[in-house]
Amino acid sequence: MRVFTVLGPSQSGKSTLVEGLIGLEEQRAQVLDIAGVAKVSQFGFMGDDWTAVDIAGGAENLSTAGPALAGSDAAVLCVGADPEAAVLAAPYFRLIEEAGVPCFLFVNRVDAAAGRMSEVIASLQVYCRHGIALRQVPIREDGQIVGAVDLISERAWQYREGEPSALVEIPESVASREQEAREHLLEALADFDDGLMEQLIEDKQPLTEDVYHTATSVLQHHDLVPALMGSAEHRHGMLRLMKSLRHEAPGAEVARERLSEGAKPVAVGLLADHVKHLGKTVMIRALGEGVGNGKPLGGKAVGSITGLDAKSPLPELAPGDVGLTMKSDHLKAGEVYGADAAHPLPDWAQAHEPGYRRLIEPAHERDEARLSSALERLSEIDTGIRVEQDAQSGHAVLCGQGPQHFRRLASKLSDGFGIEVTEHHVPPAYRETIRKPVTCHHRHRKQSGGAGQFADVVIDVKPLARGSGVAFDEVVKGGAVPRNYIPAVEAGVRDALTEGPNGFPVVDVSVTLTDGKHHSVDSSDFAFRTAGKNAMKEAMAESGATVLEPIAQVLIHVPSVYAGGLVPTISGMKGQVMGFEGHPTAAGWDVFRAMLPMTALDELTHTLASAARGTAWFTAEFDHYTEVRAEELAKA
């Protein structure tokens, strides 16, 4: 079985493309549909079995694409025939190149193309580190593309509505353009084939079989990206694309070699889902022998394997085959498996750091205990999420790839686990500190029958540099405060620091116990802890507390065409632009560096979605705290 992943921007026609490929032999495919994530289809073509993994469009779904690509023999990048929209393909080019997976570029909807195909390819080339080699040139009539000429076989095909394309003579209007484009293609291929290069230098016409052989080798080594064209809606160009996949895409042994680090893997987890009444299902691809029911995989036995319909039992998977595992909770997407161990996929296949954070709680109290378990299981089937806990409220914080991703997660919690949740913004992690040094004397005395309470403390409190935390020391002399009570004073001080005058934890202060008194009968740990707590509260009130907001160091990965426009955007969010520079390995990308209040990260998520048309993403790491003005605090 051969496997390929179909990627591309939203509305580029990926699903229609897969339907067109399946329909070449008018057969019925076996389909697995993971709503909003991917649609997997298994079908036959010219006697071979194929699996197409159609990843849902949008940058938020790139977390799904990595594992699927890892287990694929090839990728098909589907884009529209619009030079202005080339930037939308940038995230997919970048992922495919990092993966090292052979890629076919399919320019879709050429029947509606207004510009030249060379302009489309040139616009796409900006975002592809490898050369893009146009393998066809269009045939136009009255300004509309009605067919294509294959530059290797030099055969012309005219599109026919609802029927296979017809073989025709190369029109005279296309002949000179075809020859020029063919020369460019041969020169591009000759850069990777010395024999072809010699023939071109000697003005010899290379054999078509030799050119196909070179094209196959170049594709499999991911030296060039071949570009084909057509219209999936009208089933134009489908046969040429499917034949190219059949003749040029490598087999499962290449995918296995690509994922080998030391020991040879026997399987890889591609996708996962939680299905009501079935539990967790993981779609795996066998890369070696020994993948079957009851056999060890990843250190434990596999429960059962079925076809994509989750009904047809498959006792075992031959190398290259794809199936669903059930009752195998130790398996998950995003891992490569040997019989005895599991390893995470390479970094390129990992999801982007989830930057969209929401505090969630169950709509019904009865689901409180079930929610944590459901979130744990959700993280096992979705590699793009992270679950945290809010330190202030104790509620769960669900981190995802963006608003659409979060809506899908909420829907999965409801439909798959029966838990309705409500979402809220995560409260800002404000802190506060003191403005000036103070000395505070506090006496705790209480007498109400029986044993009394007595503790007397004197503390010096002073501010520390940002990021210093909290320091406690004592310089008590003469046993004014017995040593066994000093830990209680420190505990009381730290109790008071959990919530300052403005309601936030207090940081960057130094507290020194300098003096005090005790009573031989009425003093106790409790009394000195109370005295330490009250003394610290009085000191903070006297010193004038100020609120601090967290500042994050943000790295924005953005296509270069949008980088300059982010300068006013960051400034408008009270951020500081640190500069931007071209990405060292990703063509057409910049890394934009900034310091930004963490309270603005949600706004950044939404702004990038519009300002960069959904192509950019960011990582944020806490850097330092800085004083926040009263008016800004009031807005928050």
CATH number at residue 584: 3.30.70.240
Beta strand pairing status for 335-337 and 342-344? antiparallel
pLDDT value at residue 110: 93
CATH assignment at residue 330 = 2.40.30.10
Helix axes 525-543, 486-497, angle to 10 degrees: 40
In a shared domain, residues 40 and 155: yes
**Token output for 336:** 């490569």
User: Do 367 and 316 belong to one domain?
Assistant: no
Q: Answer with the one of 250, 270, 286 that is the final residue of a domain.
A: 250
Same domain, residue pair 297 and 327: yes
Find the radius of gyration of the CA atoms of the chain.
32
> Which strands make up the sheet holding 470-474, listed edge to edge?
438-446, 453-463, 509-517, 470-474
Q: What is the CATH number of the domain that holds 524?
A: 3.30.230.10
| Residue 462 sits in the same domain as residue 478 | yes
Residue 476 lies in a domain: yes
- Helices (H), ranges, 259-402: 368-381
Is 209 inside a domain boundary?
yes
Note if the pTM is more than 0.75: yes
Within a domain: 221: yes
Q: Which helix (H) or strand (E) holds 287?
A: none
User: What's the total number of domains in the chain?
Assistant: 5
| Encoded amino acid at 315, one letter | P
Give the end of a domain, one of 349, 370, 402.
349
Domain assignment present for residue 577? The answer is: yes
* Helical ranges in 149-248 per DSSP H: 172-190, 194-201, 208-220, 238-248
CA dihedral 406, 412, 418, 424 (to 10 degrees): 0
- DSSP assignment string, 579-592: EEEE-SSSTTEEEE
Give the residue numbers spanning the domain of 501. 436-543
Rounded to whole angstroms, what are the CA distances from 237 to 228, 242, 295? Answer: 8, 9, 43
Residues 119 and 54 in one domain: yes
Do 286 and 376 lie in a common domain?
no
Cβ-contact 92, 99 below 8 angstroms: no
Contacts of 307 (CB under 8 A, 6+ apart): 30, 42, 314, 323, 324
* pLDDT computed for residue 115 by the predictor: 79
Residue 380 included in any domain: yes
Are the C-beta atoms of 93 and 77 separated by less than 8 Å? yes
Kindly state whether residues 208 and 304 are assigned to the same domain.
no
| Per-residue model confidence as pLDDT tens digits over 313-342 | 999 999 999 999 999 999 999 999 999 999
| Domain membership flag for residue 19 | yes
CB-count burial class (<10 Å; 0-12, 13-18, 19+) for 254: middle
Residues 186, 268, single domain; the answer is no
CATH number for the domain that contains residue 404: 3.30.70.870
Claim to verify: residue 96 and residue 123 sit in the same structural domain: yes
Check whether residue 101 and residue 194 sit in a common domain.
yes
Report if residue 139 sits inside a domain: yes
- According to DSSP, residue 346 is labeled P
Please report the pLDDT score of residue 288 as a whole number. Answer: 93
Same domain, 537 and 557: no
- Number of residues that this document lists for the chain: 636
Residues in the chain predicted with pLDDT less than 70, given as ranges, are: 262, 448-450, 630-636
Residues 417, 311 share a domain: no
Single residue among 349, 376, 395 that ends a domain in this structure: 349
Task: Let me know: does 292 contact 283? Beta carbons within 8 Å.
Answer: no
